[in-house]
Structure 1
Amino acid sequence: MKESDDQRTLRERVDTETGRKTLRLAGLGALAGILSAALLMPWVGGLGLVGRDAAATFMDMPHDLEVPRLSERIVLTDTNGEPFGEVAERERENVPLDEISPYVPAALMAIEDDRFYEHSGLDLRGLLRAAVRTAQGDTQGGSTITQQYVKNLLMEQAETEEELERASARNITRKIVELRQAVELEDRLSKDEILQGYLNLAYFGAGAHGIEVAAKRYFSTTAEELDPGQAATIVGIVRSPTYYDPLENPEAAEDRRDVVLDRMVETGHLDAEEAEEYRGGDLGIDHTPRAGSCAESDHPHYCQYVMDWLATTDVLGSTSQERSELIGQGGLVVETGMSRRTQDAAQQAVDRHVPPDDSTKFAAQAVVHPGTGQIRALAQNLRYGFDDEEAGTTSINLAVDQDQGGSGGFQAGSTFKSYTLAAALEDGLGFGTSFDSPKSVSVGGLSNCEGGRMSSWSVSNAGESDEGDHNMISATKGSVNTYFAQLQRRVGLCETSEMAEKLGVHRADGQDMGVWSSFTLGDQEVSPMTVANSYAVFASRGTLCEPTPVREITVGDPDNGGERIEVDSQCEQNAISSDVADGVNHLLQQTFNGGTANGLDIGANAAGKTGTTDNAAYAWFAGYTRHMSSAVVVGDVRGGEQYPLQGVNIGGRTFGVVYGGDIPGPIWQETMREASEVTPDDGFPGPPSKFGNPTSEPSNSSDDSDDGDDD
């Protein structure tokens, strides 16, 4: 078939371009070979590595340098998509070249490589200058922007100290490898792509990787809005990010800026009159503090909890190495389960009732969403910090388990009585199950789950008003210790502890739960997260979910093909029956009606339980609506057993003893009132009729016992 004129013209054009590339590569190879030999002459001249052999050796060097997706920050958002934290090994925001002020590449080329658009990766004049000075014993630069880009890429990809040292070494070997890879990169990428890559990759000091973060760090603006003086200041930093740091050494930075501006004039990138506007004056720094860690987050404890969760979840990889690499790479947008409204309400409540700088006392709260396990809030009065000498700060998240960055937990007191109620209802006992409940009683005949017999246990109530005949309704309202000790004996100690485990209860320190006589009075060290999540099973009518701080993860730019990964709730349906859950819900609602939670209503249907441990080491309140479950603990950071909540002044108030209804209850109440998603009509289903009369109480029981009845 005869070739048409258009086809012939196109073929000739392609052949010509191909020929040009081939000749250019060959010429560069020969040139680089000769230069390499010149540079290496003192060491390898005796081996005959000159001329053609040097060129061949140069062209055979490894040159398939990968240009990876640059590491960026991880952005954490609340349920509305509003950011509350940024975390990054290297703080960076990648931007396209057309969103970078033209003064930035102009300044860069003027001071670093004014022939950037003319050469093909190496500049003969600069290289000859470097060769002469190197031969004189002073290893010099002369690197083009492309060569510098190669060096930065190698440093970015370094995974070990050895690789990093090799990538940044000031020696001939590194320089020759850098030259070869620069030649190949120029053949693969356009000049604009190289320039864009360099400006996003380069380190500009003060933790700023890339031009966008540098613009924000030094001038609180964007790369697109930088003026000539600002561009010259930032570009000037590249030569020595420490010495020319505008924050630490402004005089040196000013001198360097003026040098860059002069070079911009000399190379035709800037008019002399315009340059004069920015020379000699103040830098005009408008500093934005460094982000990049949870310490700078609006909610640092929640932020750190999310980062710890990401490091362990299979969602980001099946091995710790895969997860670590992805987290280190960044570029993730993590939508968490945090409700900003709930988080703010919880934080304000704990701060108001237990001021962080007021004493050594702490308050911590966890809020979860029943039926999904989404963590709505994690709040504590102690601020995020690592200085043990600074009062009112800690890096420990007091609301979660030890292996999640939390503490070893706190004894939960009478909040555990709810688990005994659930075990009793599951065993077929009804609301009318009654016992004579004197001030003190000795309970024997208990066995643990291994069949071990417990010795007799003496238990007492906190007040004489609790004496008498009680059933489930009156005993729950008054939190009567001697009643629950007998109810646990009726159900079985092992069965009671197994019910707690069904509800997701476990020790915060990771040890096995102790199953002994006082289990029903909450002598196990647990976290607020665990208690809140167990009560959420009642709220959801039997569904146990793994507490989860993340809803969705986007890898890459969500507006430009980023991969969205939904995080499914890990839930077990029917962990307990809906009948049992409905029965417990009914009983725990009674505490607000003349019981230990009297006065803590939130204007909506709620259920809850106070808790005060033996000798008032810790005070608790746990409660929930259909849509939100929360647990609050108050104690002393030095240890509640040594420093109990007795005879203390907290938040300007003096307490003989702090009970669950005194401080934890109001914290819970204020949080739920502000953050509750329910209406007065959005209540719990009524209790199953099989549990008997839902309102009947023994005639001789008291409804007005004080809040301090929990041991």
Structure 2
Amino acid sequence: MGKSGGIAKFLGCCALAGILVAGVLAPVAMGVGMLSNQVSDAVDGISASLAASEQPLVSTITDRDGGPIALIYDQYRLPVTFDEISPAMKAAIVSIEDRRFYSEGGVDVQGMVRAALHDSSGGSTQGGSTITQQYVKNYLINVVDRDNEAAQDADRADTLARKLREAKIAVQLGEAESKDDILTGYLNVVEFNGNIYGIGAAARAYFNTTPDKLNVQQAAMLAGMVNNPNTYNPYTHPQQTLLRRNLVIDTMVTNRVLDAKDAEAVKATPLGVLPNGPDIPSSSCLGAAPDAGFFCQYAVTYLEQAGISLDQLAAGGYTVRTTMDPGVSQAVKNAVDANVPPAQDGVANTFAVIRPGQNAHDVLAMVANRSFGTDVRAGQTTTNIVANPSNVFGSGSSFKIFTSAAAMEAGKAGLNTPLPNPGGQCFTQPGANQYTPAYCIQNDGTSYPNPISLANGLATSPNVAFVNLETQVGMPAVLDMARRLGLRNTLNTNEIGGEPVTDPNSSHSKDPQYNEPQSQYFQNKLSFTLGDSPVSPLEMANVSATLMSGGVWCPPNPIMSVTDRYGKPVPVRQQPCEQVVPQGLAHTLVVGLSQDTKTGTSAASAKAAGWNHADIGKTGTTNTSESVAFVGGVDDYAVSSMVFADGPHPQEICPGTPVHLGDCGAGAFGGTVAAPPYYHAFSQILGNRPDIPLPPPDPAYLNAR
């Protein structure tokens, strides 16, 4: 149940309840009269909070098919109805906590008077609380004041004022709710040690069962715990817990809900709790499966940016259905693990898959050879290396996509345009003065033609031709194109992949590498087209998705739907899709990227993998092979695969089985190391289905204008 029992229903009866409690306590009125104002003020003050407060519930993150991938919660609670609790559990809790529960009126008159007389005489305070009163107390501690330690201390204070407040509210609750509902509410809100709240979670955590199946000995142990969950913890204090359990069984006999002979047999049994428990699921994305952790974390971050905070998720009982495709995710996870083992020292292989579309770009998979976790020795990381600009070395020549698109838009080049392409050339940097050194580069090898067509250049990736083209188009246009096509978050980070430094007291506050976003830092640096800057693997996959969607950019979306604890849809704010380049330009550039796996830089590995699909691709390799990339797509899948050094001592990445760090001369290339996981995964995903043909080029973008 959402709002446990009927906490809200009993409000508004304060006057009647006050008269009733005053009558009950008439014998001690003279001794406690000074408390009357304090009690009245306290009850009035908490009534609104009780009415507005809902029990924290577990939120569930699922894949697109509804399969759970993670739980998000502050309190592990699985609420149940009265009929979903075994008779043994109901009998045990009533027997040990409040045997007159079904005959009293919210407060135990005898117990309350006895405690009040004793306490007002100056002795130590005594009990007398009914289950109804305990329900109120636990609701205050575990729900209303759960984030306020000082208020929780007041809720626990062993004072007559606090007990009178509970009594007054308990009377109201007893008038408004049935006994069965009150008992159910109590069993759903009470703590069973640590982060376990409510009988549903307790049955699962201690016995791997459900509350309707709890037997006498299990029920008695759990009923005994509520008095002091720490003292009666079966794992840390098993003997005390056993004695307490058996005491509960004895009270069940006294209360005539259990035969004495049966009780002796039950008392002879061990506690029977799960070994190495309690078994509590992870409360965050750290508990997700290896192929789902980064996706889960991205979904949570995405929701936070949309206005649904982590605190809301951790208490709201939401069901978040993501766009993750479990089949695609597992296939690419298997592929990257085969390429670079999860614990491989210093080498990460990220892989993102997005479904292109005119109305949405749904993320289908976000995986890496690493998994999202805290065990560094197992290769885990708590950084979302798929979503964040975590590839600090860049994705190499895949950035030539941006220069090509900007040149085509400006009419500086089309696919057929011949581009000057000498073996080496020095360029004057934009905004240079007499002290600015020239930017000199060379092509990797001597087999490139000069001139070379833009289409052939995209397939074979000469450096000189594209830097030359970048100078003609201008850095502002190239950077703007990169932003439009997909590098929204990437270009907002600095040149080391973090937030630009704004603190004037920082030693980096005057260093452009740290204090400027990449969108500003690279305005005068021609190296941008060679991809030597930090980049998000997910956003590079979305660049492909934008081109494959006819030039429509949409945010990489991980959310299909969100529903609240009552099953009602919750709207999720999202940036609107944008037509960022003309459809004809996007289609033509897609055609220009269609030769990489046929005759270009990844053709040899494609052939070795038996790959023969109509697709697009662009590889990238940084200057010293600390990062290599393949960005592309096939059918209705846009992808990026990046292999990069991620340890404290980065080195050249070397091909092999497995891929590793080393000093291997030529080093790895995007086509030889980053592309193979793509072939392996999508050979399985596509199977024998017919290829979706690529769009025809637009003649307006085949030649310079």
Among 551, 554, 558, the alignment partner of 1:549 is: 558
CA gap 1:34/1:619 in 2 versus in 1, 3 angstroms: farther
Among 250, 258, 266, the alignment partner of 1:278 is: 266
Structure 1 residue 577 and structure 2 residue 595: aligned?
no
Asked if the contact 2:391–2:644 (Cα under 8 Å) also holds between the matched residues in 1, the reply is no
For the residues of structure 1 that align with 2:435 and 2:252, how far apart are their CA atoms?
88
1:216 is aligned to 204
Structure 1 residue 32 and structure 2 residue 32: aligned?
no
Residue 442 of structure 1, CA deviation? 2.1
For the residues of structure 2 that align with 1:486 and 1:662, how far apart are their CA atoms?
27
Residue 56 of structure 1, CA deviation? 9.1
> Secondary structure of the residue that 1:310 maps to in structure 2?
helix
Structure 1 residue 458 and structure 2 residue 458: aligned?
no
1:682 is aligned to 692
For the residues of structure 2 that align with 1:678 and 1:78, how far apart are their CA atoms?
25
Residue 463 of structure 1, CA deviation? 1.5
Structure 1 residue 377 and structure 2 residue 359: aligned?
no
Residue 22 of structure 1, CA deviation? 10
Residue 310 of structure 1, CA deviation? 2.2
Task: Specify the code of the residue in structure 1 equivalent to 2:456.
Answer: S
> Secondary structure of the residue that 2:579 maps to in structure 1?
coil
Q: Percent identity?
A: 31
Asked if the contact 1:604–1:680 (Cα under 8 Å) also holds between the matched residues in 2, the reply is no
> Secondary structure of the residue that 1:184 maps to in structure 2?
helix
Cα RMSD, aligned residues only = 3.0
Residue 452 of structure 1, CA deviation? 12
Unaligned runs of 5+ in 1: 1-20, 317-322, 695-711
For the residues of structure 2 that align with 1:61 and 1:393, how far apart are their CA atoms?
50
Residue 523 of structure 1, CA deviation? 2.1
Q: How does 1:389-428 map to 2 (within 5 A)?
A: 390=377, 392-401=379-388, 407=390, 409-428=392-411
Among 477, 481, 491, the alignment partner of 1:495 is: 477
> Which deviates the most, 201-210 or 331-340?
201-210
2:84 is aligned to 99
Could you list the per-position Cα deviations for residues 487-525 of structure 1 after superposition, in whole angstroms to 9, with x for gaps in the alignment?
222333332222112212233534232221111111221
Could you list the per-position Cα deviations for residues 141-188 of structure 1 after superposition, in whole angstroms to 9, with x for gaps in the alignment?
221101111101111201422212111222222122111111111122
1:257 is aligned to 245
2:597 is aligned to 592
Could you list the per-position Cα deviations for residues 285-323 of structure 1 after superposition, in whole angstroms to 9, with x for gaps in the alignment?
235621222222222232222222222213x3xxxxxx4
Residue 207 of structure 1, CA deviation? 2.0
Task: Specify the code of the residue in structure 2 equivalent to 1:418.
Answer: I
Among 459, 466, 471, the alignment partner of 2:453 is: 471
2:164 is aligned to 176
CA gap 1:34/1:364 in 2 versus in 1, 3 angstroms: farther
CA gap 1:169/1:471 in 2 versus in 1, 3 angstroms: same
Residue 456 of structure 1, CA deviation? 3.3
Asked if the contact 1:370–1:539 (Cα under 8 Å) also holds between the matched residues in 2, the reply is yes
Residue 265 of structure 1, CA deviation? 1.0
1:114 is aligned to 99
Asked if the contact 1:30–1:55 (Cα under 8 Å) also holds between the matched residues in 2, the reply is no
For the residues of structure 2 that align with 1:487 and 1:581, how far apart are their CA atoms?
18
Residue 25 of structure 1, CA deviation? 7.0
CA gap 1:192/1:626 in 2 versus in 1, 3 angstroms: same
Structure 1 residue 512 and structure 2 residue 518: aligned?
yes
Structure 1 residue 431 and structure 2 residue 424: aligned?
no
Asked if the contact 1:352–1:651 (Cα under 8 Å) also holds between the matched residues in 2, the reply is no
1:290 is aligned to 280
Q: How does 1:219-234 map to 2 (within 5 A)?
A: 219-234=207-222
Residue 651 of structure 1, CA deviation? 4.8
Asked if the contact 2:635–2:691 (Cα under 8 Å) also holds between the matched residues in 1, the reply is no
Among 653, 672, 681, the alignment partner of 1:645 is: 653
Among 485, 503, 511, the alignment partner of 2:467 is: 485
CA gap 1:422/1:231 in 2 versus in 1, 3 angstroms: same
CA gap 1:307/1:248 in 2 versus in 1, 3 angstroms: farther
Aligned pair count reads 644
> Secondary structure of the residue that 1:394 maps to in structure 2?
coil
Residue 283 of structure 1, CA deviation? 1.6
Structure 1 residue 147 and structure 2 residue 157: aligned?
no
Task: Specify the code of the residue in structure 1 equivalent to 2:438.
Answer: S
Structure 1 residue 62 and structure 2 residue 43: aligned?
yes
Task: Specify the code of the residue in structure 1 equivalent to 2:383.
Answer: I
> Secondary structure of the residue that 1:376 maps to in structure 2?
strand
Asked if the contact 1:408–1:525 (Cα under 8 Å) also holds between the matched residues in 2, the reply is yes
For the residues of structure 1 that align with 2:194 and 2:580, how far apart are their CA atoms?
52
For the residues of structure 2 that align with 1:74 and 1:675, how far apart are their CA atoms?
31
Residue 619 of structure 1, CA deviation? 1.1
Structure 1 residue 671 and structure 2 residue 676: aligned?
no
Could you list the per-position Cα deviations for residues 70-106 of structure 1 after superposition, in whole angstroms to 9, with x for gaps in the alignment?
1100100111111111110111111111111111111
CA gap 1:55/1:582 in 2 versus in 1, 3 angstroms: closer
1:130 is aligned to 115
Residue 602 of structure 1, CA deviation? 4.7
Residue 241 of structure 1, CA deviation? 0.8
Q: How does 1:279-318 map to 2 (within 5 A)?
A: 279-286=267-274, 287=277, 289-291=279-281, 292-298=283-289, 299-314=292-307, 316=308
Q: How does 1:527-546 map to 2 (within 5 A)?
A: 527-546=536-555
Residue 467 of structure 1, CA deviation? 4.9
Task: Specify the code of the residue in structure 1 equivalent to 2:700.
Answer: K
Normalising by structure 1, what TM-score?
A: 0.84
For the residues of structure 2 that align with 1:529 and 1:30, how far apart are their CA atoms?
69
For the residues of structure 2 that align with 1:400 and 1:451, how far apart are their CA atoms?
38
Structure 1 residue 361 and structure 2 residue 347: aligned?
yes
Task: Specify the code of the residue in structure 1 equivalent to 2:132.
Answer: T
CA gap 1:200/1:602 in 2 versus in 1, 3 angstroms: farther
Residue 386 of structure 1, CA deviation? 3.5
CA gap 1:98/1:525 in 2 versus in 1, 3 angstroms: same
> Secondary structure of the residue that 2:361 maps to in structure 1?
coil
CA gap 1:310/1:567 in 2 versus in 1, 3 angstroms: closer
Highest CA radius of gyration, 1 or 2? 1
Greater RCO, CA 8 A, separation 6+: 2
Task: Specify the code of the residue in structure 2 equivalent to 1:296.
Answer: G
Residue 223 of structure 1, CA deviation? 0.8
For the residues of structure 2 that align with 1:133 and 1:678, how far apart are their CA atoms?
83
CA gap 1:325/1:85 in 2 versus in 1, 3 angstroms: closer
For the residues of structure 2 that align with 1:460 and 1:346, how far apart are their CA atoms?
35
Could you list the per-position Cα deviations for residues 660-689 of structure 1 after superposition, in whole angstroms to 9, with x for gaps in the alignment?
122211122223333459943312211123
For the residues of structure 1 that align with 2:612 and 2:68, how far apart are their CA atoms?
31
Task: Specify the code of the residue in structure 1 equivalent to 2:201.
Answer: V
Asked if the contact 1:545–1:569 (Cα under 8 Å) also holds between the matched residues in 2, the reply is no
Normalising by structure 2, what TM-score?
A: 0.85
> Secondary structure of the residue that 2:350 maps to in structure 1?
strand
Among 144, 162, 175, the alignment partner of 1:157 is: 144
> Secondary structure of the residue that 1:592 maps to in structure 2?
coil
Asked if the contact 2:25–2:113 (Cα under 8 Å) also holds between the matched residues in 1, the reply is no
> Secondary structure of the residue that 2:321 maps to in structure 1?
strand
For the residues of structure 2 that align with 1:34 and 1:531, how far apart are their CA atoms?
78
Could you list the per-position Cα deviations for residues 442-499 of structure 1 after superposition, in whole angstroms to 9, with x for gaps in the alignment?
234x536x99997532111112223533111221211111121222223333322221
> Secondary structure of the residue that 1:465 maps to in structure 2?
coil
CA gap 1:140/1:683 in 2 versus in 1, 3 angstroms: farther
Asked if the contact 1:74–1:331 (Cα under 8 Å) also holds between the matched residues in 2, the reply is yes
> Secondary structure of the residue that 1:633 maps to in structure 2?
strand
Among 52, 69, 77, the alignment partner of 2:62 is: 77
Could you list the per-position Cα deviations for residues 26-85 of structure 1 after superposition, in whole angstroms to 9, with x for gaps in the alignment?
4443113545x47xx4xx6xxx65xxxx78986786253625431100100111111111
